[in-house]
Structures are given as C-alpha cells and as structure tokens.
C-alpha cells in the first residue's frame, strides 16, 4: 500500500515536515539520505536558532529534531533515494532496487556548499573554515579572515563579516567580480575590506584551527602566504536535485520551482528548505517551510479523499 507521504531529506525542513505530518497522523516515511541532518551537521555552535539562548551544537540540534520526529511516529530510513517517478500516482521512489510508493512526496534534499577542494579545507571545516558568515561570523571578532569568491554571496559575506573581523580580504580568481555593481561597490568602499585579484587559495594551513593560507597569483604565478584565522568559502551552492531533473520544474540553477508556497510543478509533490530557497538559507527558514509543506500535503491529501 502506498505511504501517505514520503519525505526525502532530513535537514531542518524535512524533519520539521516529519513532526507536523506525524502529528497529523500521516505516519510519514522519511528517507533521510546518507548526509542525514544536512548542512547543520557540518557546523559547530548554532547561536541563532530561537529557543536556545545559550546556543547549541549543530549536530545536537539535528538529533533533537530527529527525536521529535520519531516521537510522533515518523519512520526513518538511512538511505539515499536513487530515482523517482512522479509521472503518475501513487508516486514512485526508489532506493536502489527497492521501490516505495507515496500518495504525496515532500522534497527537502537541501543544497550543498561548493568547496574549493584544496588541502586543509576538509580537516578545518568548523575550525576556522566555514561556508556561512551568518552562522559563524560572530566567532571571528577582531580576527583577520579571508572570503573566497567574487559573486554576490562573497560580497554580502565579506561586508557582513566586517562587523566582527578586524580585516577581511576577498580572494578572487579573476580581475573583476561577478557580483552586481551595487554589492561589489559596497564591499570595495568598506575600509576594512581588501581584495586580492587573480588569486587562488592553494592550501589552508593549521593544525587544530586555521592559522593561514597559501595563495597563488594566477597572472604572475607568484606564491605567497597570508596569516588569517578564518576562511569563508562563498563560491556558490549546489541544490541537491539531480534525481528530480526531468520530473519537476527546476530553475536555471537547478533549484526546485514552487508556487503557492510549497507546491512544485507536480500536484501532490511539495518542496521545502534550501532545495527551493537560495536567498535565506537558514535553519529556521527551512524549518518554517518544512512546516508549511506538511500542512500543504495534509490539506492536499484530504482534498483527494473528499473532493467536495
């Protein structure tokens, strides 16, 4: 028999959808993915999630979300969805060879930060290497840091980080920014921001915390070292939507297109969180959308059973 609702993905959006769907007695099946908990599993302390005045570690917050979802009867499977077929109902979702059917589906597969891929980056993630200024900027009061990237995110993060850092150096691989003029101007006019053009990071240095970066000028091939305590990588995000390509309407960057809150281009399939939202990208906004998606799914399912 088909599930009432299958939730794909288990960050703040998916787990909040699960809490609401479970409490609506929909007995949701969550397929949590191999990166269960989502991007918050990669952060250290979360200080801006309301309700935790002393802050909470990202993984602990997600463990709490998960317990709350399970408490009301969510069944959680630790696998990656490998294929979907939304062309007819019930919708089909595959994990390898195993097929699951759902009368409705909520997609909350999130987005992944794009990383530079240099030595030291992985090891020091959460220890000076971050992809989220809003989350981690506060820890860099009076420190010198770099922001990598030349788009609007890099400008926004660099400008925001000047509230805390003593100096912010933007490291960009070309000699002009991709960012909009107004955002670039705001960053360039900020006395705490300096730019290293035509420059790439070749290594992030540090044992237990970042102590510096090794740079290379791509025009002159000159190598240099810069002592910094933070590296903010702002070179874009990639929505996790590969398996939905051809099944749902995606925008030019691969994000799921929704209308009327969480409805996707296929009736009965809903989406919430960073897989939809490239603007706010916060745990609290994702959780809010997750709640909306469960309520939308519940109402939609009810209307199917009782069209009047």
Given a contact cutoff of 8 angstroms between Cβ atoms, the answer to whether 13 and 65 are in contact is no
Counting contacts by CB under 6 A, is residue 173 touching ligand NAP? yes
Known active-site residue 291: no
Among candidate residues 251, 287, 254, the one with its CA nearest the CA of residue 272: 287
Grouping H, G, I as helix, E, B as strand and the rest as coil, residue 177 is: coil
CB of 283 to ligand NAP, least distance (A): 18
Size of the site for ligand NAP (CB under 6 A): 15
Q: Write down the least CB distance from residue 281 to ligand NAP, Å.
A: 9
In the bound complex, what is the minimum distance in angstroms from residue 103's beta carbon to ligand NAP? 34
Q: Calculate ∠ Cα 275-280-284, nearest 5°.
A: 85
Task: Compute how many other C-beta atoms are within 10 angstroms of the C-beta atom of residue 135.
Answer: 23
Contact present, 147 and 158 (Cβ < 8 Å): yes
Q: How far is CA 38 from CA 6, 60, 127, 140, in A?
A: 17, 12, 18, 24
Q: Which stretch binds ligand NAP (CB under 6 A): 41-49, 90-98, 147-155, 292-300?
A: 147-155
Minimum separation from the CB atom of position 298 to ligand NAP (A): 32
Of 51-59, 171-179, 187-195, 268-276, the segment contacting ligand NAP by CB under 6 A is 171-179
Q: Tokens 């903010």 label which residue?
A: 232
Name which position in 28, 120, 137, 149 contacts ligand NAP (CB under 6 A): 149
- Residue 216 binds ligand NAP, judged by CB under 6 A: no
Question: For the purposes of burial, counting CB atoms within 10 Å of the CB of 211, is it exposed (0-12), middle (13-18) or buried (19 or more)?
Answer: middle
Regarding 11 and contact with ligand NAP (CB under 6 A), the answer is: no
The reply on whether position 274 binds ligand NAP by CB under 6 A is no
Q: Which range binds ligand NAP by CB under 6 A, 18-26, 172-180, 186-194, 262-270?
A: 172-180
- Catalytically active residues are 132, 135-136
Question: Rule CB under 6 A: which residues touch ligand NAP?
Answer: 116, 148-154, 156, 173-174, 178, 235-236, 278
């Amino acid at each position: 028999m088909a599930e009432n609702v299958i939730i794909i993905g288990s960050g703040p959006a998916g787990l909040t959808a699960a809490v609401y769907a479970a409490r609506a007695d929909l007995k949701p099946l969550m397929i949590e993915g191999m990166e269960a908990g989502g991007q918050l599993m990669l952060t250290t302390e979360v200080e801006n999630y309301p309700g935790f005045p002393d802050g909470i570690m990202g993984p602990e917050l997600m463990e709490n979300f998960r317990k709350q979802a399970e408490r009301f009867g969510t069944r959680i499977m630790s696998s990656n969805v490998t294929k979907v077929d939304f062309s007819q109902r019930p919708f089909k979702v595959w994990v390898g060879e195993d097929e699951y059917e759902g009368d409705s589906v909520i997609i909350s597969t999130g987005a992944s930060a794009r990383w530079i891929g240099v030595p030291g980056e992985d090891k020091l993630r959460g220890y000076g290497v971050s992809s989220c200024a809003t989350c981690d900027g506060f820890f860099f009061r009076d420190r010198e840091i770099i922001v990598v990237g030349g788009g609007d995110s890099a400008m926004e993060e660099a400008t925001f980080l000047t509230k805390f850092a003593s100096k912010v150096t933007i490291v960009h691989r070309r000699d002009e920014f991709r960012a909009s003029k107004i955002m670039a101007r705001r960053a360039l006019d900020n006395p705490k921001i300096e730019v290293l053009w035509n420059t790439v990071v070749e290594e992030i240095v540090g044992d237990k915390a970042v102590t510096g970066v090794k740079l290379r000028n791509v025009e002159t091939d000159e190598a240099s070292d810069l002592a910094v305590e933070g590296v903010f990588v702002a070179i874009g995000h990639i929505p996790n939507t590969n398996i939905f390509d051809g099944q749902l309407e995606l925008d030019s960057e691969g994000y799921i297109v929704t209308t009327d809150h969480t409805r996707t281009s296929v009736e009965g399939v809903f989406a919430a969180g960073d897989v939809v939202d490239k603007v706010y990208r916060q745990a609290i906004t994702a959780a809010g959308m997750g709640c909306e998606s469960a309520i939308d799914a519940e109402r939609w399912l009810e209307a199917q059973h009782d069209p009047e």
